Structure 1
Amino acid sequence: MQFSLVSGEAAPVSGELLVIPLFEGELGDSAPAPLTAADSALDGKLRAAATQEGFKGKVDQSFLVHTLGKLGADRVLLLGLGNRARFQPEVLRLAAGRAAKTAQRLKATAIGFRVPATDDAALAVRAVVEGLELGVYRFDKYKSAAREDKGSPKLTRATLSLPEGTEKSRALDDALTLGLKLAEAVNWARDLVNEPPNVVTPTKLAQAAQQAAKEGGLTAEIGGRKEIERLNMGMFLGVTAGSVQEPRLIHLVYTPKNAKDAKRAPLALVGKAITFDSGGLSLKPTEGMVEMKTDMAGSAAVLAAMKVIGSVVKPPFPVHAFIGACENMPSGTAYKPGDILTARSGKTVEITNTDAEGRLVLGDMLTWAGEHEPSAIIDLATLTGACMVALGSYIVGAFGDDDDAVNSVLAAARAAGEEMWRLPVSDLQKDALRSEVADMKNSGERWGGAINAALFLKEFVGDTPWVHLDIAGPSNSPKERGYLNKGGTGVGARTLVELVRRKAAEVASQPEPTKAEAPAKAPKAAKAPKAAKGKPARA
């Protein structure tokens, strides 16, 4: 979608649909200028009709009216933002998503959006842009009706009118650009999650990683089974053993152009990438298997974030992404309950449930990531149904015992509009993973299942500050809500980008060290594997 900013109370806002967000109480005498102007053009009937229909500006409320040719727009849409004192940009983002969906139903090609006056105009602009771009998303490529309807009008243009007294500026242009690039990347991640598992195989996911690298100015190194064997990733090899699809080892790297910045400790992002999870020999029931194409949502979010990090954010420190992609399938070669696998770290793991496979691949990825001596490791994984039982379909479970690292991720999530809740990583649960024949089991008792999984991962991060995000619930929306459709959400990508933005600002604000304070030369990172066909694929 194309976006443009206009400023000034009388600035024209073109489009078949004019959108005016309102806080509670603004329908009365304290109506903002955009509403007053529209109401006047409609002979005072707009506010009267909205009041009669019970519109009060509450969250999730909407009111649509035809202008009968009395305004430049065919229709006016009022959106409720709720109590101004409790306003968060996510409320505006969700409202903008509803506006985009309304415009699509009306087959409008252009929309005019009056940005409400808030404490931070840049955040409001970004929220509107993200909400509109995320709201127009559809995944219907496999529907015959959608293919036949390909030539019908689509929402392609949005004009954002700034609040009274707010002029266009570089900061607002930057907010618009960031919001658009981020929303486009999230929609790209949603496509990956929504595609069927016969399309998004480990090989296809590796190709998507190469695409992300090309668009984000990153380097990409893709390895196959030989590289996984060379790195002694016994857990990864165990999980992929039952599938005819070849596994892929994916390593993306953003490196700052400044030589000094390039030597800083990197931030490591790890994404779970089980492109289909049947449960292996511990086979899932049919109803539990249908949505298991989404078991690679963590990797999709990481790849989407890397695109934006490399092309827009460009932080003054390296960022690495580590992804192990494979299927978990039953066959004569599949790993079995009772098997003992040896991780890259040297730890041995007794398999008690082949459906607890994601933590096995992640364990080897976390070890590999730690060898690059990062400042912190963040992993995203659709890991446990237990986390969904605890937190539902819209809240991410956050785990970690480094308070600074966890709090920085939670703060980034709040700013990005993605809700997360910290859960404990308590050693009280460690007995659940105790094995009689190996260093540990891969699955424990039913109780505290999300904590048990986090404790398993913790064994592979050493002393590196680490945050585990269990996105099992929010990775897939059960219904349409705001800018969300039923299906993949791309959750986590916005949080990762915001985290990197904040860390970049923090690094940029630090004074240059004097010669006496200068740190010793950074140690070399562990060597990444070569691509499966000779030289690494670089973009």
Structure 2
Amino acid sequence: MAFPKLTVVKSLSEVSAEQADALILVGNLAAIDDEHYAEYVMSARQTDARIGKQVLLLQHVQAPGHRLILAPTGPLNRDYDDVREIFDAAHKAATIARDAGAIKPVIMLNGIPAEARYQEAELAAYLGACQSLYQGLEAREAVGEDILEPVQQITLVGQQLDAEWAMAVEAGKRVARDLAGTEPERMAPLKFAEYCRQAFAHTAVKVTVKDDVQQLQHEYPLLSAVARASIPVARHRPCVVRLEYQGANPQRTLMFAGKGVVYDTGGADLKTGGHMAGMSRDKGGAAAVAGFVKTVAELQPDDIAVVAELGAVRNSVGADAFVADEIITAHSGKRVRIGNTDAEGRLVMADMLSHLREEAADGKWQQPELFTVATLTGHAALAKGPYTALVPNRQASLADIPQALFAAGERYGDPAEISWARREDYQFVAPRTPADDLLSSNNGPSATTARGHQFPMAFLAISSGLAEHETDSATPLAYVHMDIAGSGVEGGDWQHGKPTAAPVTCLAGRYLRR
């Protein structure tokens, strides 16, 4: 699995002609540190007013490969500026470098303010370039990785970036983008599982795939209901991929349930009017969890354990499809009345979260923190835009888990915003009759439903049994729901946008920074 390898040097003078074939200057171009390049840019600005306003390629005889790429960030002193300005500028510049024929660019930051919000500017530049240069798995398989991704080396002039750590993050993001961005047949459930097996081969991560239909129906009844219409088609049958990593002396255990709906037709509540396009990306939550675990595998931290269950399922429509009004008993024993079959992701995760809840409560794992990660609601995208929505329970809030994730997202350029679970969210999913214990959803779009991305957290807490582990219980458990419907793809384009791998960088910054 190739991606641009990173070398960090202290100064441009350390870079030989053989090591580089383009120089990318990222930052404030009004005051370039290198006097020679500063004079050249000042002169060029006299004849080209675009300099300093947009990313440009100039010819310069002393630049590596005679290529000088100017990547201005614009102002960095405004209240709302953050490290993503550097990410975006490097993203644009890397594309120009590649298209110009460069395969070994050097990135040098210039004029970045010495403020806390830019302390990870070097990492942002590298990850921005890698995001730009990444090409999807199917394209690489069809055309050739070497052809589509010719840039195999990036040199960064920096003072603090740990190259090994940065590459581990990018390795995880690449796994997440591969899994999220593939079409529904290339990454059908069992192929999703096979990719995971290959990604974690020869690592300390144990991969277990549960694919026996009868076992799934018994142990994951809600997940199996979502998959019911897919079971007659062998290649579409569901599975649960379990990933386990244990450090030498774990102080905390991160436990994830990831939504891996490889295609969401909406089921019996069929998506119409063109809204089905892009639903092969509905596996972005499971993809992101696998990506984070890949970064864990690369870094092999001693102080954490990670347990993840990824539900790879196709929500097909057919004669045996589950329908609204059904009452299905979850793994936790809760009786769930189906409100809408297009609210399937929470069903897929509820059973996995219930399994993880049991393990966390019985003391098997040290200091557990539970998460669900999903491309769950249009409401999250509407309410939060390109930010991951964090919805914690009270125990997680008391432990400052969402606050720490928020801070890590700000620092590392993978931002999130916190939403709070309220009594209305629990009331929304409360049972209407004695026949059931809770309702999965209403029958309208989440984007037009008040608190449309918050109430699913309440459903997940109740349906998984986590609601019985609140702060006043004998075994309180911390839980955060992460909705990446707004942050999971570039530009919010779920059919064509490149996956962002959110929240891999945020999680890595919070739990894996050395």
* TM-score > 0.5 by shorter chain: yes
Q: Which residue of 2 aligns with 1:98?
A: 92
2:245 to 237, 254, 263: 254
User: Within the alignment, does 1:130 sit opposite 2:120 as a pair?
Assistant: no
Change beyond 3 A, Cα 1:415–1:21 = same
Structural mapping, 1:327-366, within 5 Å? 327-366=314-353
In structure 1, the partner of 2:384 is 391
Partner of 2:280: 293
**1:478 paired residue number:** 491
Contact 1:109 1:153 in 2 (8 A): no
Q: Does the residue aligned with 2:65 lie in a helix, a strand or coil?
A: coil
- Is 1:314 the counterpart of 2:301? The answer is yes
Q: 1:96 to 1:324 in 2, by over 3 A?
A: same
Work out the CA distance in 1 between the residues paired with 2:348 and 2:137: 32
Give the AA of the match of 1:161.
Answer: V
2:507 counterpart residue number:
496
Supply the distance in 1 between the matched residues of 2:15 and 2:301 (Cα, whole angstroms): 35
> What's the counterpart of residue 188 of structure 1?
175
Partner of 1:74: 66
Number of the residue aligned with 2:253: 266
Amino acid at match of 2:320: T
By how many angstroms is 1:407 displaced?
A: 0.9
Match runs of 1:446-461 below 5 Å = 446-459=449-462, 460=464, 461=466
SS in 2 for 1:220: strand
| Code of the aligned partner of 1:3 | L
Distance 2:311 2:144 in 1: 38
Q: Secondary structure at the match of 1:289?
A: coil
Partner of 1:519: none
What is the Cα deviation at residue 275 of structure 1? Answer: 0.8
What is the one-letter code of the residue matched to 2:460?
Answer: L
Kindly state the Cα deviation for residue 149 of structure 1 after the two structures are TM-superposed: 11
TM-score by length of 1: 0.80
Please give the alpha-carbon distance, in whole angstroms, between the structure 2 residues aligned to 1:398 and 1:433. 19
SS of the equivalent of 2:268 reads coil
Q: Flag structure 1 segments of 5+ consecutive residues without an equivalent.
A: 506-539
Alignment of 1:47 onto 2:58: no
Q: Within 1, Cα distance between the matches of 2:187 and 2:256?
A: 21
Q: How many residues align?
A: 470
Label 1:438 to 1:80 Cα distance change in 2 as closer, same or farther (>3 A): same
Over the matched positions of the two proteins, sequence identity in percent amounts to: 23
The DSSP-based 3-state class of the residue aligned with 2:312 is strand
Q: State the distance in 1 between where 2:310 and 2:14 align.
A: 48
Q: Where in structure 2 are there 5+ consecutive unaligned residues? A: 361-366, 470-476
Q: CA 1:215–1:124 in 2, change beyond 3 Å: closer, same or farther?
A: farther
Contact kept in structure 2, 1:297 and 1:381, CA below 8 Å = yes
* Secondary structure in 1 matching 2:332: coil
The question of whether the paired residues in 1 share the 8 Å contact of 2:5 and 2:167 is answered with no
In structure 2, distance between residues paired with 1:13 and 1:125: 21
1:33 equivalent in structure 2: 33
2:425 maps to which residue? 429
Contact 2:69 2:97 in 1 (8 A): no
> Equivalents in 1 of 2:512, 2:306: separation in Å?
12
Decide whether aligned partners of structure 1 residues 107 and 424 sit closer, same or farther in structure 2, where only a CA change above 3 A counts: same
Cα deviation per residue 1:173-203 (whole Å; 9 max; x = unaligned)? xx21111221132123212222110111110
Residue 22, structure 1, aligned to residue 33, structure 2: no
Q: Aligned to 2:408, what secondary structure does the other structure show?
A: helix
Query: Within 1, Cα distance between the matches of 2:353 and 2:196?
Result: 19
Task: Report the counterpart of residue 441 of structure 1 in structure 2.
Answer: 439
Q: Over alpha carbons, which structure has the higher Rg?
A: 1
Partner of 2:157: 161
Compute the RMSD of aligned alpha carbons.
2.8
